[in-house]
Amino acid sequence: MKKVFLNVFVFATIGMSMISCKNEAKNETEAKEAEEVVEVSEEAATYKVITEESTIEWKGTKPVGGGHNGTIDIAEGEFKMMDDAIEGGKVVIDMKSISAEDLEGEKAKNLEAHLMGTVEGKEGDFFNVQEYPEATFEVTGFEKKDGKNWMTGNLTLKENTKSINIPVKTELNKDGSEMKITSEPFTINRTDWEVNYGSKSVFDNLVGDNVISDDIELRLMVKAKKA
């Protein structure tokens, strides 16, 4: 009797855990047509990105389990701020800096090379950095909604530009000389930027371990200094 009860308890606990995971807030960003960049007010302060203290975290998964995570460097950028609100800005992303942090040695190098497209014959599988060495994100709007700050901007990746909406937190230090922008983790559908390798929605004949989730989870962390 105790064994039966224990089995029921275990299955119930697993079920509750799965339901809890499914109900967690997931910031799925819907890619839309690119928007026009708005004119910034003359009073807005300029903050230059401190590249060595700024990064983008990424995470990719498979529907059957497993995945990888790492970082991408920000090459340069600036933001225009009015108090704690973002009025404008742009960052340049160094796609040749893609790193895999969950692996080591040759395994990490092999994954990084595949993602960057530096493997002969597999250049176009993911990001093809030889042809597209940079990506950009340019701010087009900022609003406070539902208790969060939302930064809207045009993400250009592999020469495809789409508008996305990101939940962010902005912080200024006491004298206003430095600022931070930190996003909540959010997801983009990589196929909107024609990153199609392993996508079941593009290649319907893929099965099992050959399928890679369309969603990529990203998190932006920027530190900048007043110019």
Cα 170 off chain centre by: 17
Q: How many CB atoms lie within 10 A of CB 158?
A: 18
pLDDT score for 27: 82
Q: Is the pLDDT of residue 12 over 60?
A: no
Residue 18 — very low, low, confident or very high, per pLDDT cuts 50/70/90? Answer: very low
Q: If you average pLDDT over residues 5-9, what whole number do you get?
A: 37
Alpha helices, DSSP H only, in 31-162? 105-116
pLDDT of 97-119, one tens digit each?
999 999 999 999 999 999 999 99
Q: Domains in the chain, please, with CATH?
A: 32-226 (2.40.128.110)
pLDDT score for 164: 98
pLDDT of 161-178, one tens digit each?
999 999 999 999 999 999
pLDDT score for 22: 36
For 151, the token pair is 């930064």
Q: Which residues contact 149 (CB under 8 A, 6 or more apart)?
A: 85, 142, 143, 167, 168, 169, 170
Q: Is the pLDDT of residue 13 over 60?
A: no
What percentage of the chain has pLDDT greater than the value 70? 89
pLDDT of 35-49, one tens digit each?
999 899 999 999 999
pLDDT score for 2: 40
Chain mean pLDDT for the chain: 90
DSSP string, 133-193: -EEEEEEEEEEEETTEEEEEEEEEETTEEEEEEEEEEEEE-TTSSEEEEEEPPEEEEGGGG
pLDDT score for 26: 66
pLDDT of 190-204, one tens digit each?
999 999 999 999 999
pLDDT of 121-155, one tens digit each?
999 999 999 999 999 999 999 999 988 999 999 99
